[in-house]
Amino acid sequence: MTTTSEKVYRFPEGFIWGAATASYQIEGAWNEDGKGESIWDRFSHTPGKINNGDTGDVACDHYHRWPEDVALMQELGLKAYRFSISWPRILPAGRGQVNQAGLDFYSRLVDRLLEVGITPFVTLYHWDLPQALMDEGGWPNRATVEAYVEYTDVVTRHLGDRVKHWITHNEPWVVAFIGHQLGDHAPGWQDSAAAVRVSHHLLVSHGMAVPVIRQNSAGAEVGITLNLTFAQPATDTPKDYHTARWIDGHINRWFLDPLFGRRYPADMVADYIDKGFIPNGEMDYVLPGDFDIITAPTDFLGVNYYTRALAGTPKNGETLERTEMGWEVYPEGLYRLLNRLHFDYMPAKIYITENGASYSDGPDADGRVRDTRRQAYLRQHFMAAHRAMQNGVPLAGYFVWSLLDNFEWARGYAQRFGLIWVDYNTQQRIIKDSGWWYKEVIARNEVR
């Protein structure tokens, strides 16, 4: 009999363990109860845009099945649930007329979560812009910033008495560059200059929304969620170092620097001018006072981490472990990223607002989903986060992406990130082994 005890990684009392979703990825009911069309409805209905022709029309049918989904959250013992609000459900035309049925839907959800002791973390914008605003020019148009502030005001006036954790935007880099430069996401533009302009408008809209949220939601915590990575040169060559610096500037610093009072990084402005992202070196859309708006003090930084960005090809030809998204499994990158954020930017508090892995393991003959790779992925990343906390990183919570298998944007339903399996034909849900394991982590507040 062995007497060696396994190592236990204990998290601080009150650590917030949660799971996350987003409106378009789970709700379905795309045209019900007065909801307006979003750019993702339009994009997914356009042939050729989404893998397998999938759409979010039904998704996980969460709009109708949310009581069952909250019961599943209870079963897992979640302390918090991060979800997003569909802007066109609230303001079908983007501004003006409010759709009461939309507000009521989220209001009921929030009430139920609070009743069962799950803290709601609400993201205001997780990519489903009202199509009506896109028709007027979308995020490249400054008027969308004003509309976003109006939307924020409506939502936070209605839910701000009960919701006390607000995230203004999810992953502005993805919105700006995947949506407007690469064109793989709605609205599907391929215009680098527009992408940079969008990044600025998203940041300004964040800064303008912060005081509005504070006004409407007394004592609330407000923050923004960025997709951040750990950029690393694959070899000790100037080329790989240069590429790693560029990736870090493009994905991380372009957003972190202005948010933390440093304006846009000079090296990236120069690079963007060279690459034609800032034609003629002119950023006439940056108005006087914008940087003061963007640096509105926040209470936390939301971090979405999935993988590192390795610049160049590893010399020794080692094969890297990857999830089904093709993303490398690299928990050390989370450790390094968290330390770096603390060292370079010192956010008051950090929440990991997303981390998780896509593996398509489904039910075995006995109905059980043995997704051991997801469990291993999460375990390693939880341990990396724990290690960073020992260095003083103010990490206060961790949201697994995702509660449910769901609509993975351009990749459709083929990619499954859930702790809970969803059968898209029957809408049956099955808690996966990783979910049962997560339940234990939460209950013990420790990882073994």
Residue 93 or 182: the one with the smaller Cβ distance to ligand IFM is 182
Looking at the Cβ atoms of 25 and 232, the one nearer to ligand IFM is: 25
DSSP string, 145-164: HHHHHHHHHHHHHHHTTT--
The 10 Å CB-count burial string (b at 16+, else e) for 68-87 is ebbebbeebebbbbbbbbbb
Task: Give me the least distance between CB of 230 and ligand IFM, in Å please.
Answer: 16
Active site residue 27: no
In terms of CB distance, is 251 or 296 closer to ligand IFM?
Answer: 251
Using CA atoms, how far apart are residues 34 and 88, in angstroms rounded to an integer? 9
CB of 304 to ligand IFM, least distance (A): 5
Beta carbon of residue 356, minimum distance to ligand IFM (angstroms, whole number): 7
Cα angle 38, 210, 151 (rounded to 5 degrees) comes to 30
CB of 417 to ligand IFM, least distance (A): 6
Strand partners, 166: 122, 222
Cβ-in-10-Å burial (0-12, 13-18, 19+) of 255 comes to buried
Instruction: Provide the token pair at 93.
Output: 């035309």
Taking CB positions, which residue lies at the least distance from ligand IFM?
22
Residue nearer to ligand IFM on the CB measure, 370 or 411 = 411
Binding site for ligand IFM (CB under 6 A): 22, 25, 171, 304, 354, 401, 408, 417
Strand partners of residue 271: none
Spot the catalytic one: 27, 37, 221, 354.
354
Residue 75 designated active-site: no
In the complex, least distance from residue 212 CB atom to ligand IFM, rounded to whole angstroms:
24
Burial readout 49-64 (b: 16 or more C-beta within 10 A, e: otherwise): bbeeebbbebbbbbbe
Question: Minimum distance between the CB of residue 401 and ligand IFM, rounded to whole angstroms?
Answer: 5
The one-letter amino acid code at 101 reads A
User: Minimum distance from CB of 324 to ligand IFM (Å)?
Assistant: 11
Residue 433, Cα to own-chain centre: how many angstroms? 24
Distance between CA atoms of residues 418 and 416, nearest Å: 6
Q: Which residues of 228-243 are buried (b: 16+ CB within 10 A; e: fewer)?
A: bbbbbbbeeeeebeeb
> Do residues 90 and 151 make contact, with C-beta atoms less than 8 angstroms apart?
yes
Reading the block at residue 386, the tokens are 């724990």
Residue 13 per-residue DSSP state:
T
Question: From the candidates 27, 37, 171, 221, which is the catalytic residue?
Answer: 171
Instruction: Measure the CA–CA gap between 248 and 406, rounded to whole angstroms.
Output: 29
Nearer to ligand IFM, 160 or 223 (CB): 223
Give, as one character, the DSSP assignment of residue 425.
Answer: T
Residues 86 and 103: their CA atoms lie apart, in Å, by: 10
> Which CB, 171 or 240, lies closer to ligand IFM?
171
Nearer of residues 123 and 205 to ligand IFM, judged by Cβ: 123
Give catalytic residue positions: 171, 354
